[in-house]
Amino acid sequence: MRTLFILTIFLIAYGSLFPFDFQATSLHITIHDLILLESGRDFTGLGDLLANIALFIPYGFIGFLLANRSHQKHHKIFAVIALGLLSSYTLQVLQLYLPSRYAAWNDIFANFMGITVGMLAAALPWNKSLYINHTRFAAWRSPQGVLVIAWLASELIPFVPTLAVNLVWGNVKALLINTEIAPLAILTKAISWLTFAYLLESLTGKNKADSAFPLILFLTLTAKFFIINSNITTSDLLGGILALTVWFSLFRILKYGKTEKLCLLLLASITANGILPFGLDSGAQVFNWLPFHGFLTGDMLHNSQILCEKLFLYGSLIWLLSIPSKKIFLATILAVFWVTLIEFAQIFLESHTPEITDPILIVIIAWIFHQMEKQHNAPPITPIVKPTTTQQDAISYKYQARPWKMFSIGIITTTFMLALAMQAVLALPKLPYNIKELFLYNGNIIATFIFSLALIWVGLSSRLCAWLIEKSKIQILALPFYIFLAGIISLLILKLSVTPESISDIAGSSNLNWQVMEKRIWGDIGVALFNSLQAPQLISGIERTVRYLALYCPIIFFLVIFNILLDHPPGYPHDRGRKWILLFMSALPWLFLCKVIAFDYSSTDNLNELIARPGEYGIGGGGYLYLLLILITLNAVWLSRIQKVCKLMLPLLVTAAFIPIGWYLFSNGLVKDFQKYNQIYSGVDFLLGPSRSTLLPTGQLFLRWSLVQIALVLLLAFSQKLGAMIVPHHNQPCRPDSNTAH
Per-residue DSSP letters for 588-629?
HHHHHHHHIIIIIT-S-HHHHHHBPPS-GGG--HHHHHHHHH
Residue 169 has pLDDT above 70, yes or no: yes
Q: Which of 113, 123, 4, 105 is nearest to 56 (CA)?
A: 113
Q: Which residues contact 197 (CB under 8 A, 6 or more apart)?
A: 209, 213, 243, 247, 251
Mean pLDDT of the chain: 75
pLDDT at residue 471, rounded to an integer: 83
Sign (positive or negative) of CA dihedral 66, 69, 70, 76 = positive
- Looking at residue 733, its pLDDT comes to 42
Task: Give the pLDDT score at 246.
Answer: 86
pLDDT category of residue 314 using cuts at 50, 70 and 90 = very high
245 near 253, Cβ under 8 Å? no
pLDDT at 738: 38
Band the pLDDT of 661: cuts 50, 70, 90.
very high
Q: pLDDT-derived band of residue 570, with 50, 70 and 90 as boundaries? A: very low
pLDDT for 312 equals 92
Is the pLDDT at 617 greater than 60, yes or no? no
pLDDT of residue 286: 77
Closest residue by Cα to residue 306 from 289, 326, 292: 292
Q: What is the mean predicted confidence (pLDDT) over 437-464?
A: 84
pLDDT at 127 over 70: no
Residue 531 has pLDDT above 80, yes or no: no
Residues 6+ apart with CB under 8 A from 720: 459, 460, 462, 463, 559, 563, 636, 637, 640
**297 or 339, higher pLDDT:** 339
Residue 36 CA to residue 30 CA, distance in Å, equals 10
pLDDT at 378 over 50: no
Three-class DSSP category at 577: helix
CB 339 within 8 A of CB 314: yes
For the segment 493-515, the average pLDDT, to the nearest whole number, is 76
As beta bridge partners, residue 439 has 498
Q: What is the percent of the chain with per-residue pLDDT over 90, rounded to a whole number?
A: 4
Indicate the length of the chain as a whole number.
742
- The whole-number pLDDT of residue 298 equals 63
Burial class (CB in 10 A: 0-12, 13-18, 19+), 206: exposed
280 pLDDT tier (thresholds 50, 70, 90): low
- What pLDDT was estimated at residue 741? 34
**Side chain identity, residue 206:** K
Q: What are phi and psi of 498, to 5 degrees?
A: -120, 145
Task: Give the range with max mean pLDDT: 47-51, 467-471, 579-583.
Answer: 467-471
- Please give the Cα distance from 45 to 27 (Å, whole number): 27
Q: How many CB atoms lie within 10 A of CB 709?
A: 22
Who wins on pLDDT, 308 or 409? 308
Whether the per-residue pLDDT at 87 is higher than 70: the answer is yes
Residue 392 pLDDT: 46
Per-residue pLDDT averaged across 665-679, rounded?
A: 77
Name, in order, each residue with C-beta under 8 angstroms of 324's C-beta and a sequence gap of 6 or more: 259, 644, 645, 646, 647
Name the band, by pLDDT with cuts 50, 70 and 90, for residue 476.
confident
At residue 737, the pLDDT reads 39
Bridge partner list, 498: 439
**Per-residue confidence band for 54, with pLDDT thresholds at 50, 70 and 90:** confident
Which of the pair, 689 or 573, is modelled with greater confidence? 689
User: Is pLDDT above 80 for 318?
Assistant: yes
Residue 326's pLDDT is 74
CA-based R_g, the chain, Å: 31
* Residues contacting 642, CB < 8 A, separation 6+: 648, 651
- Tell me what percent of the residues of the chain surpass a pLDDT of 70: 71
Least confidently predicted of 143-152, 293-302, 339-348, 544-553: 293-302
pLDDT given at position 295? 65
Predicted pLDDT of residue 632? 92
Calculated CA dihedral for residues 12, 14, 19, 22, nearest 10 degrees: 100
Lowest-pLDDT choice from 236-250, 475-489, 520-534, 657-671:
520-534
Over range 275-283, report the average pLDDT: 68
Q: Is 138 helix (H, G, I), strand (E, B) or coil?
A: coil
Cβ within 8 Å of residue 344, ≥6 positions away: 287, 354
pLDDT > 80? residue 564: yes
Work out the average pLDDT over 23-45.
Answer: 52
Question: 272 pLDDT band (50/70/90 cuts)?
Answer: confident
Cα 133 to Cα 733: distance, rounded to the nearest angstrom:
42
Task: Tell me the C-alpha distance between 741 and 727, whole Å.
Answer: 8
Give the residue from 595, 613, 631, 648 showing the smallest Cα distance to 705.
631
> What's the CA gap between 622 and 615, in Å, rounded?
11
For residues 617 and 332, the model is more confident at 332
- Is the pLDDT score of 28 beyond 60? no
pLDDT at 134: 44
Class of residue 198 by CB neighbours under 10 A (exposed 0-12, middle 13-18, buried 19+):
buried
Per-residue model confidence (pLDDT) at position 730: 56
Average pLDDT over residues 486-507: 84
Higher local confidence (pLDDT), 630 or 534: 630
So what's the pLDDT on residue 284? Answer: 64
Rounded to whole angstroms, the Cα distance separating 226 from 167 reads 8
What pLDDT is attached to residue 247?
86
Q: Give 176-212 pLDDT, tens digit per residue.
A: 776 677 888 888 899 999 999 999 888 888 888 888 8
Cα–Cα distance, 297 to 302 (Å, whole number):
10
- What secondary structure, in 3-state letters, does 435-459 show? HHCCECHHHCHHHHHHHHHHHHHHH
For residues 338 and 635, give the distance between their C-alpha atoms in angstroms, rounded to a whole number.
18
> What end-to-end distance do the CA atoms of the chain give, in Å?
51
- Judged against a pLDDT cut of 50, whether residue 736 lies above it is answered with no
Q: Which of 612, 616, 652 is nearest to 635 (CA)?
A: 652
Residue 167: count other Cβ atoms within 10 Å of its Cβ: 17
What is the arithmetic mean of pLDDT over 304-321?
Answer: 88
